[in-house]
Structure formats: C-alpha cells, structure tokens
Amino acid sequence: MTLLQKSLILFGITGSILAIASGIGAVLARKAASDSGIATVENLNARIKAWWVMIAIFAACYALGFTATVLLFALTSFYTLREFISLTPTQRADHVPLAFAFYVLLPLQYWLIWSDWYGLFTILIPVYGFLLLPSLSSLQGDPVNFLLRISRIQWAVMLTVYCISHAPALVLLPVPGYEGQGFLLLFFLTAVVQFSDVMQYVFGKLMGRTKLAPVISPSKTVEGLVGGGLSAMALGAALWWITPFSPPVAAAMAGMIVIAGFLGGLSLSAVKRSMGAKDWGTMVQGHGGVLDRMDSVSFAAPVFFHLTRYFYTV
C-alpha cells in the first residue's frame, strides 16, 4: 500500500470518528444541566475541536510537503519558547542569550532537520547551546541569580526547541522498506499523544478516584492514566499498518509515548505551579497556550524518535 493510499484511508477513518464524536458532544451539550456537567462537556468538545484543527494541519502539511511541516514545527517552537520565557522571570542581562536562542539556535536547529544533518542536529543544543547560552549571559556582567536564570533559559530551549524538533525529524528516519513514509510516524506520535490526553481526561472524569499528584495537577488520576494509557496502546496497535512495527511493537511504542507524554505534562505542570500560573498562555481556545498542548509531545517526541531510530534503522 502506498503512502497516498494509507494517508487517504487514515484521514477518512479519523474524520469519520471525529464526526461521530462531534455529534455525541453536541448531544451531551444539550443534555448537560449541572454546572460541573456543562464544564466537563465544554472541555471535551474543546478537545474534539482541537483534534479537527490537528487533522486539518496534518492534511495541509501532507499536501504542501516536508518543508511546510518543518516550518510549522519551527513556528510551534517559537511560540512555546516565547510562552515559557514570558512566564518565567528574566533580567536585562538575559536579553542577549535569549536573542541567540530565538534567532540563532531555533532556526539553525530546524534547518539542520530540513537538511537531514543528523550528526549536528542531535548535539547542537545539548552541547553548543548548553555552553554558549551561559557564556553569552556571563559576558553581560550580572551575577545575580545567574545559575537560576541561565538554567531557566537552557531548560526552555531544550524543551521547546530541541525536544519538539524531534517530531518533524521522524519524517526523515531511514527505516529500510519504509522509505518515504516517515510522515505517518509523525501522525502516529501525535495521534497517540492526543488520544491518550483525551482518554485520560474521560477516564479520570468517569472513574478517577486516586490522585497522582494533587498539588501539581489535581485532575490527573491513576484511573485516568491507566484507562487512557491502555486506550492509547490499543490505538497504537490498531495503527500498526501505517508504521514499520508489528501490532505488539506498535502497542509497546504507544505505551512508551504515553509514559513520556504523561511525565512531560506533569513536569511542565509543576513549572506552571511554581510560577503561580494555571496555563502557559491563552492562544489555544479552551486549552490555554500552545505549550499546554505540546507539553506531552516535548517529552514523547525524542523518546519515540530515538527508539525507532535505534531499533529500526540501519
């Protein structure tokens, strides 16, 4: 089956499921009576709408090609980096390393992916960025809270640029017998992450009793994680045909994505709570900022990329 055939089937199935989900959401919205019920249904419908947007974006990227995909994720990294920096305090001496992060490291990282320069793409930020950012800051001559300030910048760049950039890099993985189909690996990653997020929310609302981290993220429960995780693994197994994996391996890969995504969401929730904020921003209606939608991807993308590369490339 060709990439085009797989993509058409995939978009058709996904669109049909979303149409059914939208219909169910509309019925629930009319029947919800209590304030909590209305809020729950509104949140669920907002997640369904986010899926529609995601599918539309994927369809556009597929039609426009790899360059458009790289530019989309570069723009995503720009907005998530801006949200992170806007929420965490900086000083005048941080302006130079921040400008370097936004206007040198970020575009260079995505140019390396676009040009398929794997050797430098994997070390640019963890090695050269890690060393240059504090160097540029120290040259400004302000030692006040230096370690705390530069650590925030380094962590922001690692999460929002380096980690997220592994998502479009999936398209270029040289998997034998799977050439030219890397776009479907990107779809697999995103679908599992988002489906896990939605199902964790649903299971948490329906059966959630045991709080996982009540102070950091009151809505996360053991029941939600298990129910959502198993649902996402089932989805991963069902999508094995768009990947180079067998059904059991696809389920296992989905399980790793779920675990990494959950830890990403929890870790970034801890950052928000430490800053006294509920959301990273207001750009995504009903979901806060862009980083609120990409927190799971930031942890899951590099894990999935390197697992696939290690076990499935020459």
Q: What's this model's pTM, rounded to 2 decimal places? A: 0.89
Q: Give the per-residue pLDDT at 275.
A: 79
pLDDT over threshold 80, residue 35: no
pLDDT over threshold 60, residue 222: yes
pLDDT in tens, 47-72: 777 777 777 877 888 888 899 999 99
Residue carrying the six token digits 């490291």: 105
pLDDT over threshold 60, residue 141: yes
Mean pLDDT in residue range 146-168: 94
Please state, in angstroms and rounded to a whole number, the distance separating the CA atoms of residues 145 and 166.
31
List, in sequence order, the alpha helices (H) in 126-221. Answer: 130-138, 146-157, 166-169, 182-207
pLDDT in tens, 244-293: 999 999 999 999 999 999 999 999 888 888 877 776 666 555 556 788 88
What is the Cβ-side half-sphere exposure of residue 169, based on CA atoms within 13 angstroms? 26
**What's the angle, vertex CA 182, arms to CA 176 and CA 187, rounded to 5?**
140
Residue 218 burial by Cβ neighbours in a 10 Å radius (0-12, 13-18, 19+): exposed
For the chain, state the CA radius of gyration. 20
- What single-letter amino acid sits at 18? L
| Of 14-23, 104-113, 129-138, 292-301, the least confident | 14-23
Q: What is the end-to-end Cα distance of the chain in Å, rounded? A: 23
